[in-house]
Chains A and B, each alone.
Chain A
Amino acid sequence: MFSEFLQFLFTGVTIGATYALIALGFTLIYNASHVINFAQGEFLMIGGMATVSFMALGLPMPLAITLAVLLSGLMGVLLQRFAIAPAKKADVVTLIIITIGASIFIRGLAQLLWGKQYHVVPNFSSDEPIRILGAVMNTQSLWVLGIGTVVVVALVLFFTRTMIGKAILATSMNKQASRLVGIKTQFVLMLAFLVSALLGGIAGVVVAPITFTSYDIGIMLGLKGFVAAAIGGLGSGVGAVVGGLCLGIVEAMAAGYLSSDYKDAVAFSMILLVLFFMPRGLFGAKVVERV
C-alpha cells in the first residue's frame, strides 16, 4: 500500500521536476515580454532529438547533450530575433499567435529532419533501477531531480548575483525605467529567450530517456509547463517550481488511483480550482492596473 504510494510519488516528482523546468522557461519569457511562448515545448523536443542525432554521429554522450542544449538555446535566440523582435508593435495576442506559428514551423522542420517515429535516448547512467521501501526508481529520475536542482540554484544565483541577471529582472519590472538607466532592453529580451530555451533544452534531454522523444512531443509538455506556471502564478519563479511539482504529483496520483484516461482532466480541473480560489495562482504578485 505504502510502496504503491511511494511509487506514484517518485513518478510524480520526476515528471513534476520536468514541468518545473518548462514552467521556469515560460516564466522567464513571460516576465521579460508578457508573451506566452507556445514554442516552449519545441525547445524540449530539440534538446532530446538533437541528442539522438549527435550520438548517432558517434559523439560521446556528454558532448552530444551539450551541443543539443546549445542548439536549443540558438533556436531561442533565432525565435526572438526573427519572429518576436520584428513584431514590436503587435498586440500580445498577435505575439502569442506568432509563437504558435513558430512552434508549427519548428515541428515541421523536425519532422523533415527526424521523421515521425519515436527515438530512444539511453539512460545517463546504469539501467539498473534502485529499490526503495518496495518502490522502484529509475536512475534517470535521480538525474532529472539532480540536474533540476542544480539549474534552479544556478538561476537564483544568476538573477541575484550577476549584473545581466539583474538587468533581466529590472526589464521585467519596468521596461521604460530600465531603458532610462541604460539597459539595452532588446538585448535583455534576447537573453531571456536564450536562457529560457537553454532551460527547455536541458529539460528535454534529461526527460528523454524516460518518455522517449519524437517531433511532436513538445506540444503536450509545453502545455503542461504552461499549466504549472499558471498554478504557481505566472511570473513567479518559486511558483513555477512549486506549480510544476504539484502538477506532476497530482497527475501521477490521479493516474495511479483514479484512471489514466482522466489524468489530464484532473490536471486541468486542478488549474480551474486554483484559479477560482486564488485568481493569481499560488504565488502570483498582486497587480495594480493603471488606467
Chain B
Amino acid sequence: MFDQFMKVRLRGMIVLAIIVVVIPLFLTNPFQYDLATQILIVGGAVVGLNLLVGFAGQISLGHAGFFGLGAYFTGIMTGTYGWPAVPTLLLGAAVVGAIAWIVGRPILRLKGHYLSMATLAVGFIIAIIINNESQLTGGPDGMPVPALDLFGWELSSFGLYSFFGIEFDGYELWYFFAGLMLLLAVWLAQNLIDSPIGRGLRAVHGSEVAARVVGVDTAKYKSLVFVISAVYASITGSLYAHFQGFITPAVAGFDFSIILITMVVLGGMGSTYGVILGAAVLTLLPQVLADFQELEMVMFGLILMLTMIFMPKGLLPTLGSMAGKRFAKKTGGQP
C-alpha cells in the first residue's frame, strides 16, 4: 500500500519534470523563456497557497502581500545593503513566516469570509507601506534588484554560461533553475499533504467542529499551514525579484492577490498540479488576448466566468475526470 502511494506521488513528479524539460523544445526566444520562467516561479507560490485554500479550506485574498514582502526584503537587503542572496532569501522567509504567525493567530479564529477580509486587509496594508516608504522601496517607481548570487556563482538572465563545453544563455539557465525550485516546492507540498499535518488539515477542511471533536488542534494546524503558505510566497517572491531584476509595488498589490487565488481556483483547488496549470493559463491568457486589444478585458472576464461556471472544480480535476470517464467507457470497467 505504502509502495503504491509512493509510486503515485513519484509519477506526478516525473511527469512534471518531463514537461519542464520538454517545453524548451518549443521555446524560440528569450521573451518566451521569460514567460515560462515566470510561470514556474509563480507556480511555486500557488502550490503554497493551495495548501491553505485547497487543503485547509481557508481563503486568502492578500497573499501577494507576502510575495511582495519576500521580493522587497530581497531587493532592499541584497541591493541597498549588499547582503548575500541565499541567506537573505532564507532570512526573508523566516521574517515573513514570523509575520504570518503573528497576524495569523488572531485572524485564523475567524470563519469564512471574515478570514478573507482580514487577509485582504493585511495584503493591502503591506502594499500601501511598500508604495509609500519610497526612500526604502523606491515607491511606485519600483527598485532594481541584483542578479541571484548562488554562493559566489552569479545567475543572471543576461549572462552566458558554459558547462562541459555546451553554451547556455542566462535565461535558459534561469528557466531550469526555476523548474528545479518548482519541483522542490511540489515535493515538499506533497510530503506535507501526506503527513499527519496534512490529514489534520483535510479534517479542518471537511468540518472544523468535527475535527476539533476528534482531537485535532485546528487552530495550530491552521496557523501552521498559513505560515507555510506565506513562506512559500516569500521565497518565490525573492526568486521573482532576482529573476526580474526590477520590482514594483504591483508584486504586493491586491490585483496580484486576486490573480494568485484565481490561479488556484481555476486550476483546481486541492490539486497540486492543477494549480500549476492554473498559473500557466492565467499567465499566458493575457498574452494570447493582447491581440484583441480593446476586447482583451472583456474576453478575459468572459473566459474566466465561463470556465468557472462549466468547470466549477477547476481545469485539471474536470479534464482528469473527463479523461477517466472516456477511459472507463473504452475498457468497460471502473476508471
A residues contacting B by CB (< 8 A) are: 30, 36, 83, 86-87, 89-94, 96-98, 100-109, 111-112, 223, 226-227, 230, 234, 261-262, 264-265, 268-269, 271-272, 275-276, 279-281, 287, 289, 291
Given contacts A104-B304, A291-B210, 13 further A-B contacts (CB under 8 A): A87-B309, A93-B265, A97-B304, A98-B308, A101-B305, A102-B301, A104-B300, A105-B298, A105-B300, A105-B302, A261-B128, A261-B132, A291-B209
CB-nearest residue of chain A to B297: A108
Most chain A CB atoms below 10 A, which of B106, B116, B265: B265
Q: Which residues of A have CB within 8 Å of B182?
A: none
Whether B121 pairs with A269 at a CB distance below 8 angstroms is yes
Closest Cβ–Cβ distance, residue B57 to chain A (whole Å):
9
Prevailing SS type, chain B contact patch: helix
Whether B111 pairs with A104 at a CB distance below 8 angstroms is no
Q: What 1/0 mask marks residues of chain B from 291 to 335 whose CB sits below 8 Å from any chain A CB?
A: 000111111111111001100100000000000000000000000
CB-nearest residue of chain A to B259: A100
Question: Given A93-B265, A112-B295, A234-B114, do A271 and B121 touch, yes or no (CB 8 Å)?
Answer: yes
Q: Which residues of B have CB within 8 Å of A87?
A: 308-309, 312
A36 to B59, CA, bound (A): 12
Q: Which residues of B have CB within 8 Å of A234?
A: 113-114
Whether A101 pairs with B302 at a CB distance below 8 angstroms is yes
Q: Which residues of A have CB within 8 Å of B110?
A: 275, 279
Q: Which residues of B have CB within 8 Å of A271?
A: 117-118, 121
Q: Which residues of B have CB within 8 Å of A272?
A: 107, 118, 121-122, 125
Q: A-B contact count, CB below 8 Å?
A: 134
A87 to B262, CA, bound (A): 16
Chain B, 251-290, CB within 8 A of any chain A CB: 254, 258, 261-262, 265-266, 269
Q: Which residues of A have CB within 8 Å of B113?
A: 30, 36, 230, 234
Q: Which residues of A have CB within 8 Å of B122?
A: 268, 272
Most chain B CB atoms below 10 A, which of A101, A109, A291: A101
Whether A279 pairs with B109 at a CB distance below 8 angstroms is yes
A89 to B121, CA, bound (A): 29
B residues contacting A by CB (< 8 A) are: 53, 59, 106-107, 109-114, 116-118, 120-122, 124-125, 128-129, 131-132, 207-210, 213, 254, 258, 261-262, 265-266, 269, 294-305, 308-309, 312
Whether B109 pairs with A268 at a CB distance below 8 angstroms is no
Whether A108 pairs with B308 at a CB distance below 8 angstroms is no
A227 to B296, CA, bound (A): 29
Q: Which residues of A have CB within 8 Å of B269?
A: 91, 93
Query: Which of A36, A230, A265, A279 meets B125, CB within 8 Å?
Result: A265
Closest Cβ–Cβ distance, residue B27 to chain A (whole Å):
29
Q: Which 9 A-B pairs have the closest CB atoms?
A: A105-B301, A108-B297, A101-B304, A104-B301, A108-B298, A90-B312, A101-B305, A268-B121, A230-B117
